[in-house]
């Protein structure tokens, strides 16, 4: 469906949205979208960090105590 819309079509859609909602509403909406993207990235980074910490915890030395003394 979007394959037939060219640059002029997108420009026309942008102008119509701007006229219907006004510059202030569109600006605040884009600000909210930006905040959402930032929160999503922060959540992904925190999740990745938690997974890496869990993997590092599992990778710690698990040699039995009596085996450590022999070395």
- Does residue 17 lie in a domain region? no
User: With a cut of 50, which residues of the chain have pLDDT below it?
Assistant: none
In a domain, residue 18? The reply is no
Q: Determine, yes or no, domain membership for 12.
A: no
DSSP label of 60 = S
Q: Which domain, by its residues, includes 27?
A: 23-54
CB 51 within 8 A of CB 43: no
Q: What per-residue confidence (pLDDT) applies to 48?
A: 92
On whether residue 61 sits in a domain, the answer given is no
pTM passes above 0.85: no
Report the pLDDT value the prediction gives residue 65, as an integer from 0 to 100.
Answer: 67
Domain total of the chain:
1
**N-term to C-term CA, the chain:** 69
């Amino acid at each position: 469906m979007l394959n037939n819309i060219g640059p002029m079509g997108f420009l026309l859609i942008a102008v119509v949205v701007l006229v219907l909602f006004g510059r202030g509403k569109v600006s605040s909406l884009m600000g909210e979208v930006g905040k959402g993207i930032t929160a999503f990235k922060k959540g992904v980074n925190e999740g990745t960090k938690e997974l890496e910490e869990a993997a590092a915890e599992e990778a710690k030395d698990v040699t039995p105590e009596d085996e450590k003394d022999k070395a």
